[in-house]
Amino acid sequence: MNYLASIGSYALMIKEVFRKPTKWSIMKSLILKEIDELIYGSMGIIIFISFFIGGVVAIQTALNLTNPIIPKNLIGFTTRQSIILEFAPTFCSIIMAGKVGSYITSSIGTMRVTEQIDALEVMGVNALNYLVFPKIVALMLYPFIIAIAMFVGIFGGWMAGVFGGFLTSADFVEGLQLEFIPFHVTYSFIKVLVFAFVLATIPSFHGFYMRGGALEVGKASTTSFVWTSVVIIILNYILTQLLLG
């Protein structure tokens, strides 16, 4: 029953976020601040992880292709498919749930503990729109990070495969071009946009409605990470079934 109540509260929160908007002059600066914090600040860790994940996928694929009949270009094909379909959109989103989600929950939760949210509401400001809407808008740029992650991941696979002596550069590039389906990229970006909305709203929900002191802020951050990850994994399954099934 508590889960149903939480889902209802979350739906009402989403409705409230888009009601009674804050002045654009104020909102613009809030959005730019969130873009810097959530998008630009996350690029380093995403690029780092993508590069090595791409390398690991290429190496593991190469080590499993022991039959000499199987062409080496399958290493490039497998790296491309793994990075574009799953590792870049889903794996990076789980990482972002820890980095960005914890930041959002703790920052809003701290404002709740220090009664800054109460002060906003007393002044007649729609606190949910003021705090959550800029994060939603900022994370709509999240697909740009994932596009970079895809490129860097494939580049990492090329580096590991070619410089590791597993295949030639021409074989890897041939594998990248093998049976390429453009819709797979579209599918990934549709997933990423849905995940971006989840990353902005679920941590905000746990931060906004938390109760207690500083200790509860930490607990709320942990809970938001768990539930954001769970929702991302469930939505990943549903969207894959709908779009590729």
Q: What is the pLDDT of residues 24-70, one digit of tens each?
A: 888 899 999 999 989 998 899 999 999 999 999 999 998 888 777 88
Across the chain, how many H-helices and E-strands are there?
11, 0
pTM recorded for the entire structure: 0.90
Residue 1 lies in a domain: no
Cβ neighbours, 10 Å, residue 237? 9
- Report the percentage of the chain scoring pLDDT > 90: 49
Residue 4 lies in a domain: no
In the predicted model, what is the mean pLDDT of the chain?
89
Residue in the structure block whose two tokens are 């074989």: 171
Over the stretch 129-175, which tens digit does the pLDDT of each residue have?
A: 898 999 999 999 999 999 999 999 999 999 999 998 888 889 889 98
Residue 107 lies in a domain: yes
Is 100 exposed, middle or buried, given 0-12, 13-18 or 19+ CB atoms closer than 10 A? Answer: buried
Angle between helices 182-208 and 92-113 (to 10 degrees): 20
123-126 own/partner pairs: CB under 8 Å, 24+ apart: 125/22, 126/16, 126/19, 126/20, 126/21, 126/22
Residue type at position 47: I
Residue 241 scores a pLDDT above 80: yes
Determine the structural domain holding residue 220 and report its residue range.
Answer: 23-244
Distance, in Å, from the CA atom of 70 to the CA atom of 84, rounded to the nearest integer, reads: 23
Q: In 141-176, which positions are buried (b, 16+ CB within 10 angstroms) versus exposed (e)?
A: ebbebbebbbebbbbbbbebbbeeebbeeebbebbb
Number of domains in the chain: 1
Distance, in Å, from the CA atom of 181 to the CA atom of 171, rounded to the nearest integer, reads: 19
Residue 5 lies in a domain: no
Distance, in Å, from the CA atom of 74 to the CA atom of 166, rounded to the nearest integer, reads: 11
113-122, 128-137, 186-195, range with the lowest pLDDT: 113-122
pLDDT at 59: 93
Residue 18 lies in a domain: no
